[in-house]
């Protein structure tokens, strides 16, 4: 695990720098393809951490008594912020990923990261400086990755709550098939997710496209299914029957083959929400 974390630190050091530069460019130009498609592009900033297992109880106590107060005020007071979520990996696959904690915040447009504003909110909510809070967190965890993504599709309006399960598949898109992949997700699979939410077998679904880092990255997209509990997340979705119910003119086998030709699932993980707040 130590070697894994060291490698991740080295890899994501370059990614973090690229992320900062690219986010600044997007903010300055406002000319991304996604921005051309929507009046307001929804961005997901996702940070991946390795939390020291011996300090998990201390961290959960910090979230309860400090982070939750700050983030609730932050989401309320910063106009572009839509939500903030902390989730813990409960099944990470084999081999396990370098991270065991995932923090995601959602914004209208690229994140601005005004440290002066954040510090003022932190002091008001907790009585400490943001630097003190950051130092406390850094004594418990290690940042091993960071990704900036944009929303490509979503279903379900229910907000995330502590205890919800997020089941995420990390996708690598085949060369030259980016458009095909996202169109397949929207036209073939989104109606099925919408029906499952309507039937009460799933709480929500979202599809995001990785914008930063670029180049030879680990994954290009994430498809996340959201459930109310672990039992619900493990139930058979019965996709073939759903296809017959929602889009009877389509063939499930054809849909599956079309999707597999456009992307490969490189890993999957299941996480439990620890804390979430939204506007």
Residue 16 has pLDDT above 70, yes or no: no
Tens digit of each residue's pLDDT (9 = 90 or more) over 125-163: 999 999 999 999 999 999 999 999 999 999 999 899 999
Q: Dihedrals φ, ψ of 231, to 5°?
A: -60, -45
What is the C-alpha to C-alpha distance for residues 265 and 279, in angstroms, rounded to an integer? 32
Residues near 131 by beta carbon (within 8 Å), at least 6 away in sequence = 119
Q: Please determine, for residue 5, whether its predicted confidence score (pLDDT) is greater than 90.
A: no
Is the per-residue pLDDT at 18 higher than 90? no
Residues 6+ positions from 117 with CB-CB distance below 8 Å = 78
CATH architecture of 150-272: 2-Layer Sandwich (3.30)
Region 38-61: mean pLDDT is 93
**Distant-in-sequence, close-in-space partners of 99: CB < 8 Å, separation ≥ 6:** 8, 48, 49, 50, 89, 144, 145
- The structure's pTM equals 0.85
Residue 113 has pLDDT above 90, yes or no: no
What was the pLDDT predicted at 39? 61
Higher pLDDT, 20 or 49: 49
Would you kindly state where each structural domain of the chain is located, as residue ranges? 2-148, 150-272
Query: Which of 21-35, 93-107, 197-211 is predicted with the least confidence, judged by mean pLDDT?
Result: 21-35
Cβ atoms of 44 and 38 within 8 Å: the answer is no
Separation between Cα atoms, residue 174 and residue 220, nearest integer Å: 10
CA–CA dist 188, 167 (Å, integer): 19
Helix count and strand count (H, E) for the chain: 11, 8
Question: If you average pLDDT over residues 156-180, what whole number do you get?
Answer: 97
Give me the CATH topology for the region 2-148.
Answer: Alpha-Beta Plaits (3.30.70)
Q: Which of 32, 38, 90, 37 is nearest to 210 (CA)?
A: 32
Q: How would residue 180 be classed by pLDDT, with cut points 50, 70 and 90?
A: very high
Separation between Cα atoms, residue 49 and residue 248, nearest integer Å: 43
Chain center to CA of 147:
9
| Predicted pLDDT at 40 | 83
Q: Please, what is the end-to-end C-alpha distance for the chain in angstroms?
A: 37
Q: Which two tokens stand for residue 23?
A: 């986010």
Mean pLDDT of the 24-39 span: 41
pLDDT at 131: 98
The pLDDT score that the predictor gives to residue 216 is 87
Provide the pLDDT confidence category of residue 1 given band limits of 50, 70 and 90: low
């Amino acid at each position: 695990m130590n070697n894994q974390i060291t490698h991740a630190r080295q890899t994501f050091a370059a990614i973090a720098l690229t992320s900062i530069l690219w986010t600044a460019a997007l903010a300055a130009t406002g000319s991304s393809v996604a921005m051309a498609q929507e009046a307001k592009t929804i961005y997901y900033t996702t940070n991946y951490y390795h939390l020291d297992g011996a300090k998990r109880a201390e961290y959960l106590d910090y979230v309860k008594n400090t982070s939750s107060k700050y983030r609730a005020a932050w989401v309320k007071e910063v106009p572009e912020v839509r939500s903030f979520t902390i989730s813990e990996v409960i099944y990470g696959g084999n081999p396990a990923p370098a991270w065991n904690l995932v923090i995601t915040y959602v914004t209208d447009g690229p994140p601005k990261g005004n440290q002066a504003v954040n510090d003022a909110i932190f002091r008001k909510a907790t009585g400490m400086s943001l630097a003190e809070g950051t130092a406390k967190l850094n004594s418990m965890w290690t940042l091993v990755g960071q990704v900036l993504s944009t929303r490509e599709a979503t279903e379900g309006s229910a907000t995330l709550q502590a205890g919800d399960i997020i089941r995420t598949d990390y996708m690598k898109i085949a060369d030259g098939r980016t458009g095909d992949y996202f169109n397949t997700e929207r036209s073939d699979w989104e109606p099925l997710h919408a029906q499952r939410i309507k039937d009460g077998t799933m709480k929500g679904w979202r599809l995001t496209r990785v914008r930063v880092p670029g180049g030879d990255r680990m994954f290009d997209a994430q498809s996340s299914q959201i459930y109310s509990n672990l039992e619900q997340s493990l139930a058979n979705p019965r996709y073939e029957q759903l296809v017959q119910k929602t889009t009877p003119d389509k063939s499930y086998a054809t849909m599956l083959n079309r999707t597999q030709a456009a992307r490969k699932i490189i890993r999957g993980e299941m996480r439990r929400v620890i804390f979430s707040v939204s506007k």
